[in-house]
Amino acid sequence: MSQSLFYRLVSCQLRFLQTPTRTFSSTLSIRAAAKRNATMATIATKTGQVVERFVLESLLRRRLFYFPSFEVYGGVSGLYDYGPPGCALQANIVDLWRKHFVLEEDMLEVDTTMLTPHEVLKTSGHVDKFADWMCKDPKTGEIFRADHLVEEVLEARLKGDKEARGQKVEVDQEKEAKKKKVKDTKAVKLDDAVVTEYEELLAKIDNYDGDELGQLIVKYDIRNPKTDGNLLPPVPFNLMFQTTIGPSSNTPGYLRPETAQGQFLAFQKLLEFNQQQMPFASAAIGKSFRNEISPRAGLLRVREFLMAEIEHFVDPEGGKKHHRFEEVKNMELSLLDRSIQLSGSTRTEKMTIGKAVSTGLVDNETLGYFLARIQRFLLKLGIDQSKLRFRQHMANEMAHYATDCWDAELQTSYGWIECVGCADRSCGDLTVHRNRTGAPLCVRESRAEPLQIEEWQINLDKKKFGPRFKKDGKTVEAAIDALSQDLREKLALDLEKDGRIEINIEGVSTGKVELEKGLIKIEKRTRVEHTREYTPHVIEPSFGIGRILYSLIEHVYWSRPDDEARGILSFPPAVAPTKVLLVPLSNHESFGPLVQRVMMKLRRAGISNRVDDSSASIGKRYSRNDELGTPFGITVDFQSVKDNTFTLRDRDTTKQVRASEDEILKAIKLLVDGEETWEDVRKRLPEFTGQEVD
Amino acid sequence: MSQSLFYRLVSCQLRFLQTPTRTFSSTLSIRAAAKRNATMATIATKTGQVVERFVLESLLRRRLFYFPSFEVYGGVSGLYDYGPPGCALQANIVDLWRKHFVLEEDMLEVDTTMLTPHEVLKTSGHVDKFADWMCKDPKTGEIFRADHLVEEVLEARLKGDKEARGQKVEVDQEKEAKKKKVKDTKAVKLDDAVVTEYEELLAKIDNYDGDELGQLIVKYDIRNPKTDGNLLPPVPFNLMFQTTIGPSSNTPGYLRPETAQGQFLAFQKLLEFNQQQMPFASAAIGKSFRNEISPRAGLLRVREFLMAEIEHFVDPEGGKKHHRFEEVKNMELSLLDRSIQLSGSTRTEKMTIGKAVSTGLVDNETLGYFLARIQRFLLKLGIDQSKLRFRQHMANEMAHYATDCWDAELQTSYGWIECVGCADRSCGDLTVHRNRTGAPLCVRESRAEPLQIEEWQINLDKKKFGPRFKKDGKTVEAAIDALSQDLREKLALDLEKDGRIEINIEGVSTGKVELEKGLIKIEKRTRVEHTREYTPHVIEPSFGIGRILYSLIEHVYWSRPDDEARGILSFPPAVAPTKVLLVPLSNHESFGPLVQRVMMKLRRAGISNRVDDSSASIGKRYSRNDELGTPFGITVDFQSVKDNTFTLRDRDTTKQVRASEDEILKAIKLLVDGEETWEDVRKRLPEFTGQEVD
């Protein structure tokens, strides 16, 4: 290890240890984002209807997108299972992610284990810092997440105040309240000043640490809402699921809280696999875990979740340029930067990523490149661009070593939700693991031109040194080795002048040592470095697939103005759980063989489809599939039996065309591959208006 | 609940509770299979070379297929990470699985959580029965898996005996021994009778329970091989990873040992999603966990593994027919049935699945259909048919309620390995969960014809009954309700004859009760049932993806006779991690744009590819990619710059053709989609012999 690198590592590590709190980009509170959004709970569909969350949730349960796990056993909060449509939607999102990132950028995908030994997460900081604050009621044994409790109690008081003032309480808030700890609100009017105080406090509820939350609980007399009992002061609760690996109890382990650590530990092997070429990116898709104290907000805060993470390793020298930045530089993003947030505003600014990087708002090209690629990915999925913004982290939100971090946030009925984090984590992670294990998690490359380094070097006369310091020898030598260049220069002058120097050294009995000329020599010399060694920096785009999936559902959800009771999920064809619904007009026996044949042909083309030959009306069957988000429907009728033509229905417009089997199948293939739109197909093929189908 | 069903449930549950051991089909010992294979450790490649496992393992590590997790922290046994080729191979196997089963059979795929509350796995039997036996050395604290220890010590003694007799010990056994607990063997000759005794014992080592293992340890004086210290008697060690869900310690949970339970619990919802139509199948792909006492055998016995499981729910009435059985009935399988195993043989018999089902060897059509489909899937992957057999479970290997079970076993250098289990689990799982929770995990359907049931019904005169039996009333009533039809008939005659009857009843003070005419009436009456209610039976094909992946690698591994040092992995194109290698002849600047263009075109067609523009020779670069299993290579040379033609190389034959860019890309697409073979391409396009490429 070169000496200069050693200093960097030590200083890095010291900073790490000194940092009082470490935040974890992938686990930011969703409430923070929600607070920053003044229009929470009133989000509109593309046709301008208000998204009524309970109506949507009922649709999602009815159509089995997802449901609480272990429901027949009473359920476990924060755990959800995906049913067939949710599972297919998730698989399609993952598939698109893999194509958009891994295949397109030649990333090295790995699959690392979830079980992780203690030591690894101790080093990464998770054992000590990955925690929320909890309060216990000593009488009932109930446990509350401290910040949530303060928030809910104060919100209930504000609601009671509104009631006392005769103001209207929003319906959605009522619904929310039902899920909360605070069941009853009392109509008690508060002083205007208290209302303001509460509101200000709620806006920054995520910034309080345990002590401060404890003080708030005392100051505002916050108790167990059910029993009115006093609570113990907040204590930290580590959010990792702990277990034991193997039969003996001396190998504690955890379920990983992120996929990132496995990728960092594989760095050296991946670099070699990549034939030592930098930069490169690794990627991983897999479940991570977070033992929430009291999960809420459906799929947005769960205990087991699918993540897709990229670690792009880059040389910190040369400004972190990206060779494909040109391709994206004109893309416009909605940015909510740090300074605007500090001013108390949530106004976003539209700006090309080229400008954002060139003005220094976004730290570097590589970070900017990924922000643009993230936006393109989200739009491909069907995310509504007007409900997407990139929010820059405040300094206290980032890990101390991070250079810059932006979250892609999506607007939902829960407020603005962080769905993708994109951080420049600098060399922090590789450095701590390297320091702990000694593994060379770094890059070594020959320099085109050898580097000449002028530096103050120290030589000790070992023959005299050993006998003089005896058992202190090693301590003294290490302390001398660690002297900075500045100090060496000063000491060299002192030694020249006085013939002796004195150095303070911890760990020797006298606390300092005296060294004279002849025993020590300090000289400026030139050293030549032929290889360069550096710890790469890491740009980390980190995707919460479940959050994206839920937000996407809200974004594509709407209903027809003439039939608001029935919902439609307008997934783009590539993402839709099922692509085609096959509907025989009735259960007449002549339809069966045609349905089978078309089904087999679609299957062979890799196009997922389902047959609905139930006895419900055609219209009912189609509307069931509108709720499932199936973009296309083929009707098999008596005309089909005669001339082998079929009608093709578009979910969003409910318009139909009629054409031969081959034409219809070809159109579907082009639509699903994204090579034609419905408008293209409608222009090419004759319209059909014969049946009632919506 | 109909009465007849109630009896079935009760009797099912009783049998369950009485069964002393329950085996778990997906977790069968791989050693059992290995034992049954006399030719362990000598397996040949398709070209007849012996598979040297350490050579293959070195290739797999070098090419980063997989590697021990957390290696820079010293590793954790039984945990492996997949590097880019292993990860892509796994994704391709999963993709093929999804197409072959889920899409082809319209299965309902679900994604359920790994975290599972205690109660669910208590009901399923895992909390009580999913365990191995372990022995502790009280002095050192070391823990041994009891059956492994007995096996290893006796094997070492047999080896020592061979040495003492001057017999050759196989090389591979030497290598194996290095990984084991027993480091040194002593050349001590044993009596011939003892050798036979040891050999017989080893052949059935998996059949011993804890007490029996304890007796063997005493009888054969088996001690800690390192210290020669005595061991404590074997105790059960539960193989599930335990954790706590949420902040309070009263919600214990486990990481699931199989994906099946999540599917059973969702049965009711899935039936509804399927519009109440039976039969149907659910499917799940996901990680499961098993906290091995001392993992070994690489990827074959790990603590965290990917499974793909199907639960096919079927009406038990009507012989479990399958509507697509016709399509597979002529497929030939190698079967190793129960009776042959009992006779001590491992000779397989080739038989069509049609015959196997019609003769009753395989219990029913649905089970047979899936065995055939499993074989077809494995062959698609590239499994060598001569190294595939289906082994029927012995009666004591199955869960007590299972009807029949066959494992697809693959032959590897570790012996015959269970890679897919296919069991008819009858109604066992749904029944226990239904009994525990009361949830209607069953099917209710209207009968086309109402069912007339003649049965003996009992009526009690409640007015007299209550005062007579007081607090025993409920117990007596329940006992009477539970009387069988046969007994009722007998009692009716007795009552008619004697005017009174006596019934033995546990739980009442006298142990029996007397009942007279007037208090009890027993009559034969006709009941009409309009709906039929039944608990479906489950056929469960369960795939260990990691085991299949490893076995596949052994099956496709070989080396060219003229260059045995370099390996080749002949994956079929659909499964190969990367499809195409792009190789510019040198780093001449004119090649760059061509490589880029071809790469982009392949990417757009969804064909994974990698560029190798390192300075190694063409031959070296190709042989690197033979080891990665990349089926095709495109060379870009000076001729390409001139006329836009490229050479296309086939991995297995090393033959090349040369054609225009469009022709080459089209050929690759057809090859990867499986629509053409290399022989087809070679016939169509002109051969090229210009370069040295192997």
The DSSP code sequence of B13-51 is: HHHHHH-S----GGG--HHHHHHT-TTTT--B-TTS-B-
User: What's the confidence (pLDDT) of residue B7?
Assistant: 29
Instruction: Assign B531 a pLDDT band (cuts: 50, 70, 90).
Output: very high
User: Cα–Cα distance between A415 and A38 in angstroms, integer?
Assistant: 8
CATH class held by domain B452-530: alpha beta
Say yes or no for a CB contact (<8 Å) between B104 and A70: no
Chain A positions touching B304 (Cβ under 8 A) are 113-115
3-class DSSP state of A379: helix
Say yes or no for a CB contact (<8 Å) between A115 and B242: no
What backbone torsions phi and psi does residue B557 show, to the nearest 5 degrees?
-85, 135
Say yes or no for a CB contact (<8 Å) between B268 and A87: no
Residue A538 pairs in a beta bridge with: A313, A426
3-class DSSP state of B270: helix
User: Cα–Cα distance between A581 and A613 in angstroms, integer?
Assistant: 10
3-class DSSP state of A288: strand
**Using CB atoms, which residue from A63, A244, A262 is nearest to B81?**
A262
Res. B32: pLDDT tops 60: no
Q: Give the model confidence (pLDDT) of B80-124 as tens digits.
A: 999 999 999 999 999 999 999 999 999 999 999 999 999 999 999
3-class DSSP state of B9: helix
Say yes or no for a CB contact (<8 Å) between A243 and B246: no
What average pLDDT does range B441-461 have in this prediction?
A: 91
User: What's the confidence (pLDDT) of residue B24?
Assistant: 41
Mutate to test the interface with B, among A67, A243, A436 (most CBs of B within 10 A): A243
Q: Give the model confidence (pLDDT) of B361-372 as tens digits.
A: 999 999 999 999
Distances (CA, A) of B503 to A199, B490, B511, B516, B541: 74, 12, 9, 11, 46
Contact criterion met (CB below 8 Å) for B669 and B676: no
- From B57's Cα to the closest Cα of chain A, the distance in A is 16
Give the DSSP H/E element, type plus range, for residue A221: none
Residue A423 pairs in a beta bridge with: A405, A540
Q: Where are the beta strands (DSSP E) in B572-637?
A: 580-584, 609-611, 632-636
The DSSP bridge pattern shows strands B108-109 and B563-569 to be: unpaired
Token code pair at residue B205: 């080592």
| Nearest residue on chain B to A261, alpha-carbon basis | B70
**Using CB atoms, which residue from B80, B265, B272 is nearest to A70?**
B265
Res. B535: pLDDT tops 90: yes
Contact criterion met (CB below 8 Å) for A288 and A281: no
Res. B12: pLDDT tops 50: no
Token code pair at residue B19: 């069964």
> What residue segments make up the domains of chain A, in order of their start?
3-130+239-432, 131-238, 443-534, 578-688
3-class DSSP state of B204: coil
Chain A positions touching B69 (Cβ under 8 A) are 112-113, 262, 265
Amino acid, res. B244? T
Chain A positions touching B77 (Cβ under 8 A) are 246
Say yes or no for a CB contact (<8 Å) between A291 and B80: no
Residue whose token pair is 């007299």: B464
Nearby residues of B86 by Cβ (< 8 Å), 6 or more positions away: A111, B60, B64, B65, B66, B549, B577
**Using CB atoms, which residue from B87, B251, B273 is nearest to A109?**
B87
Say yes or no for a CB contact (<8 Å) between B255 and A243: yes
Q: What is the ipTM of this complex?
A: 0.85
Say yes or no for a CB contact (<8 Å) between A72 and B243: no
Nearby residues of B500 by Cβ (< 8 Å), 6 or more positions away: B514, B515, B516, B517
User: What's the confidence (pLDDT) of residue B40?
Assistant: 47
Residue B416 pairs in a beta bridge with: B411
Say yes or no for a CB contact (<8 Å) between B110 and A134: no
CATH class held by domain A3-130+239-432: alpha beta
Q: What is the largest CA-CA distance in chain B?
A: 111
Chain A positions touching B97 (Cβ under 8 A) are none
User: What's the confidence (pLDDT) of residue A121?
Assistant: 96
What average pLDDT does range B620-628 have in this prediction?
A: 93
Chains A–B, number of C-beta pairs less than 8 Å apart: 208
Contact criterion met (CB below 8 Å) for B34 and B414: yes
Which of A75, A210, A56 lies closest to A558 in space, CA to CA?
A56
User: What's the confidence (pLDDT) of residue B687?
Assistant: 92
Chain A positions touching B114 (Cβ under 8 A) are 114, 287, 304
Q: Give the model confidence (pLDDT) of B639-663 as tens digits.
A: 999 999 999 999 999 999 999 999 9
In the DSSP assignment, the letter for residue A141 is -
Contact criterion met (CB below 8 Å) for B488 and B557: no
Say yes or no for a CB contact (<8 Å) between A270 and B83: yes
Chain B positions touching A269 (Cβ under 8 A) are 64, 67, 83
What CATH architecture does domain B578-688 belong to? Answer: 3-Layer(aba) Sandwich (3.40)
What average pLDDT does chain B have?
A: 88
User: What's the confidence (pLDDT) of residue A443?
Assistant: 96
CATH class held by domain B132-232: alpha beta
Q: Give the model confidence (pLDDT) of B177-187 as tens digits.
A: 445 666 667 88
Amino acid, res. A600? M
Mutate to test the interface with B, among A93, A115, A270 (most CBs of B within 10 A): A115
Q: Which residues of chain A have pLDDT under 50?
A: 1-40, 174, 177-178, 692-694
Residue whose token pair is 């040297």: B52
User: What's the confidence (pLDDT) of residue A221?
Assistant: 92
Lowest mean pLDDT among B35-44, B289-298, B320-329, B439-448: B35-44
Mutate to test the interface with B, among A96, A104, A111, A145 (most CBs of B within 10 A): A111
3.40.50.920, 3.30.720.200, 3.20.20.70, 3.30.70.270: CATH of A443-534: 3.30.720.200
What backbone torsions phi and psi does residue A253 show, to the nearest 5 degrees?
-150, 175
Burial of A168 (0-12, 13-18, 19+ CB in 10 A): exposed
Say yes or no for a CB contact (<8 Å) between A269 and B614: no
What CATH architecture does domain A131-238 belong to? Answer: 2-Layer Sandwich (3.30)
User: Cα–Cα distance between A32 and B511 in angstroms, integer?
Assistant: 68
Which of B452, B631, B547, B524 lies closest to B93 in space, CA to CA?
B547
User: What's the confidence (pLDDT) of residue A448?
Assistant: 87
Q: Where are the beta strands (DSSP E) in A413-499?
A: 415-426, 443-460
User: What's the confidence (pLDDT) of residue B179?
Assistant: 53
Burial of A652 (0-12, 13-18, 19+ CB in 10 A): middle
Chain B positions touching A272 (Cβ under 8 A) are 64
**Using CB atoms, which residue from A78, A255, A265 is nearest to B72?**
A265
Give the DSSP H/E element, type plus range, for residue A292: none
Q: Give the model confidence (pLDDT) of B481-515 as tens digits.
A: 888 899 999 999 999 899 999 888 887 878 888 88
Contact criterion met (CB below 8 Å) for B414 and B32: no
Q: Where are the beta strands (DSSP E) in A200-241?
A: 235-238
Mutate to test the interface with A, among B243, B288, B294, B673 (most CBs of A within 10 A): B243
Contact criterion met (CB below 8 Å) for B87 and B94: no
